[in-house]
Amino acid sequence: MAKLIFVSYGRKDLGGSKREELGSLAAQVIEHLKGLRGDSDLPVELWLDIDDIRAGDEWQAEIDDALARADLAVLLVSPAFLASRFIMKHELPRLRQRRKENGLRLIPILLEPCAWPSWLSKTDIRPRGNQALSEISSLEAAPLDRKLAEIVAEIREILARPERRASADPSERDHREKAAAELVAATLLSDLDPATRAEVSRRLVGEVRACSGLSEEGVWNAARFFVEYHLLTSEQPTSPLELEASLGADRKRRDAALVARLKQGGRSGDFSDEPIEVISTFFRRTNDRADRWKAYFEALVREGGSTPGEVASLAPVSVRFGFLSPQYLVAGLLSRFNDDWKPLLDDYQRSLPSPKQRRAAFERLQLSQWNCWLMWGPSIPICRCAQWRGHHALQYGYGDENNSIPVLELASDDKGCPKVLGSVARELAKTRRSAQFASLTGRLRWGPWFLRPATAAAAEEEEIDLASLDRLTRSSGTAVPIAAAQSGLYLGDPPPHRLDSDRPESDGLVMVFESLERTSAETRVYFSAYLWLMFLVAVPPLSADQGKVGPGLLRAKAYPDWPDAAESRTRVRQAKLWEDLLPVFVHANLGDPEALSFQKRALVESAFTLLREVYKQSPGLFDSEDVAAGIQFHLVCSSDYSGCGEELRYPSQDPLLARLRERLAAEPDRDLAERIVLPASDSEHSRPSGLAAYFSACHLPDLLGDYFEHVSQPASG
């Protein structure tokens, strides 16, 4: 039997008084949808009133019949669509009621930018990124056709899924309730023994059903809301006593807000309309419960029939207190090794050369500075180079950079910056700070699933180049192309159908931005992060050709080869490029411009003090050959300087590099000053290829990944 697609549209969008170009755009969408009719494997019927209502038909009865028979509804959203009284008063209420009763899929397609009602703003709209088709078509025809083809392919995939129909058989009617119990058990009760877990989860879902008055698909969504609410707001979301008390008869322990939301959702049939409000504890709880969220998303795929690439929290999350910062936090040692110090201590010991070779004084200093800097993880600036092509996530947290999660806005401007969040970040330079208070609303998703190819075949075929400057050549299966410098967001563990994969795990949780509630110009705020400078301790190059690559490395170490073929450029392994990097850092308040300015001055002075001592003691720190050649300190990058030769997307008004230049010019020890090498102001875009490729902030995630891998290797002997 053919699947029926009901198309709801504003009549003006197909001509009449509507301007011609938008009319032709709506017609293009319909023509692409009509292409589904030719699929012999999946018979499809497209219902459109202008085609299917003939002379003499009772038009409203025909529309009502189509609304009742539809297997899927496509909404062509525009100002004309939202202004149509018939759509708003007749078609949409019936479609939303069918979605409540039996899960009818509604797919809004945004024709033209417009102010959305609340129910639509909480629905996953197409095209992805909330970019209207009219905005895409204003560029050229080919991208529009590709986007429409992607949408139609997604609709076909949805229609091809096995149906879930209501049944008179009680066992069939109970299917979704059983699945809801499995969802609760796998997410919140996994610490219990199987028998207790099953019993408690059944009781909880029974209480959820009683509060909401829903059944089948309705109780499934109510159980989803119940899980998300506790993960976001409860101090003890895995305590059976607390979970049962939140819905129980004891009004003193009952969570009135939760019960009210379950009843509200029972009346409307929609738990995705209103956000769950959270405060500053959201960031700590979300990071601490990442494994619970992952288990939840896995259960949605397993029990709910969703695909990994489309899984997201049902309810939006409204964060009342947070700070937005245009940087990206790289996972540190504590996060990577989960407080297991043995690999770090073993590596420290084995990295020190034998006393018979030399004193290893520099290695001790370098490793100490390096590990302290890397302990909690540094944040890197967001650049304009090839490593940052595609979407890029910003940092959103409270109090400290380690108490944060990546926030990703899918809509971007013509320069590749997120439309709303990018404008907030660009304003920071004017206020001389690097973090902005902001209340945001978004949904949680598991990055490694929707920011990379969703099928095993595509993932196997794709070679992700982790060290090249142009490694963003991605397969067509990628749902959302994310910046290569943030590969930790999508190179995580595999979706549930590939649990046998040996890919490394990542934290995975990403907040996908939906709306900005408010920002504050208050400067008496606190959001702390590392300010850091990274120096490469080196010697002068042996030749002009070597100088084009970079300075000479200590102990005559050679730069790794850089293959000409892009497909051959993979992460440079076993080169130990971190061995001669000397970081200098201070924990600073990014939200207070006065404190931040003071801490920048302190960092620069600290750097000169450290480099002066290293230079004065160089005969006892380095090999005699390197001392004779002349020890140098090359600035390779910093927390607000990428070092790759390109400009930052969100530059600081008071950059550390400018402060270093001023301080270097005033340095009374001119011998030391000659040893400190800063990028010349007139040649920042022609940095030596070795420094730009191997030591820039844009490549630090790669270099740190190699260091983590090195530390993880078992000690020999």
Residue 456 scores a pLDDT above 80: no
* CB 483 within 8 Å of CB 381: no
Give the list of residues 6+ apart from residue 177 with CB closer than 8 angstroms, or none: 205, 209, 215, 216, 219, 220
Highest mean pLDDT among 23-32, 139-148, 501-510, 545-554: 545-554
Q: What is the pLDDT of residue 493?
A: 44
Q: Is the pLDDT of residue 458 over 50?
A: no
- Tell the residue number behind the tokens 């201590």, with chain if given: 345
Nearest CA among 116, 56, 58 for reference residue 92: 116
Tokens of 98: 């069918």
Task: Report the C-alpha gap between 154 and 148 in whole angstroms.
Answer: 10
Nearest alpha-carbon partner for 554 in 612, 620, 623: 623
**C-alpha distance from residue 533 to each of 174, 485, 529, 604, 635 (Å):** 61, 19, 13, 8, 7
Distance from chain centroid for Cα 634? 33
- How do residues 583-601 score in pLDDT, each as one tens digit? 999 999 999 999 999 999 9
Q: What is the pLDDT of residues 559-573, one digit of tens each?
A: 887 554 433 444 445
Q: What does the pLDDT average to over 98-113? A: 83
Give one DSSP letter per residue of 74-113, joined into a string: EEEESHHHHH-HHIIIIIHHHHHHHHHHH--EEEEEE-S-
Structure tokens at 212: 């909401």
Task: Name every residue whose Cβ is closer than 8 Å to that of residue 468 and which is 6 or more positions away in sequence.
Answer: 566, 569
β-pairing verdict for 632-638 and 379-381:
unpaired
Task: Return d(Cα 427, Cα 573) in angstroms, integer.
Answer: 40
- Residue with token string 């895995």: 238
pLDDT of residue 266: 85
List, in order, residues 6 or more apart from 510 with CB less than 8 Å away. Answer: 393, 405, 406, 407, 408, 444, 445, 446, 447, 451, 489
How high is the pLDDT of residue 574?
A: 52
Pairing of strands 509-520, 394-408: parallel
- Please say whether the beta carbons of 276 and 229 come within 8 A: yes
Whole-number pLDDT of residue 444 = 96
Whether 457 shows a pLDDT value over 60: the answer reads: no
Q: What's the longest Cα–Cα distance across the chain?
A: 102
Cα–Cα distance between 45 and 30 in angstroms, integer? 12
Question: Does residue 463 surpass a pLDDT of 50?
Answer: no
Mean pLDDT, residues 214-227: 89
pLDDT tens, 320-347? 999 999 999 998 887 777 777 888 888 8
pLDDT confidence of residue 395: 97
CA distances 360 to 18, 165, 175, 619, 688, Å, are 77, 72, 67, 12, 29
CA atoms within 13 A on the CB side of 587: 13
Distances (CA, A) of 447 to 94, 169, 452, 482, 536: 35, 39, 8, 10, 33
Please compute the mean of the pLDDT values over residues 623-640 and round it to a whole number.
Answer: 95
Q: Give SS3 for 586.
A: strand
Is pLDDT larger for residue 273 or for residue 189?
189
Is the pLDDT confidence value at 504 over 50?
Answer: no
Q: Tell the residue number behind the tokens 């108490």, with chain if given.
A: 403
Cα distances from 545 to residues 130, 554, 635, in angstroms, run 49, 17, 20
Say which residue the tokens 């080196």 belong to. 538
437: Cα separation from own chain's centroid:
19
Distance between alpha carbon 202 and the CA centroid of its chain, in Å? 34
Q: How high does pLDDT run on average in the chain?
A: 82
Instruction: Please state, in angstroms and rounded to a whole number, the distance separating the CA atoms of residues 706 and 712.
Output: 10
Q: Residue 11 class from Cβ within 10 Å (0-12 exposed, 13-18 middle, 19+ buried)?
A: middle
pLDDT of 141 above 80: no
Please give the pLDDT value at position 22: 45
Alpha-carbon gap, residue 474 to 471, rounded angstroms: 8
CA distance 465 to 463: 6
Q: What is the pTM of this model?
A: 0.75
Element (H, E) at 442: strand 436-446
Residue 176's Cβ-side half-sphere holds a number of Cα atoms within 13 Å equal to 22
pLDDT of amino acid 85: 85
| Confidence band for 639, pLDDT divided at 50, 70 and 90 | very high
Residue 172 pLDDT more than 70? no
Which amino acid, 201? S
Closest CA to 163 of 353, 305, 317, 360: 305
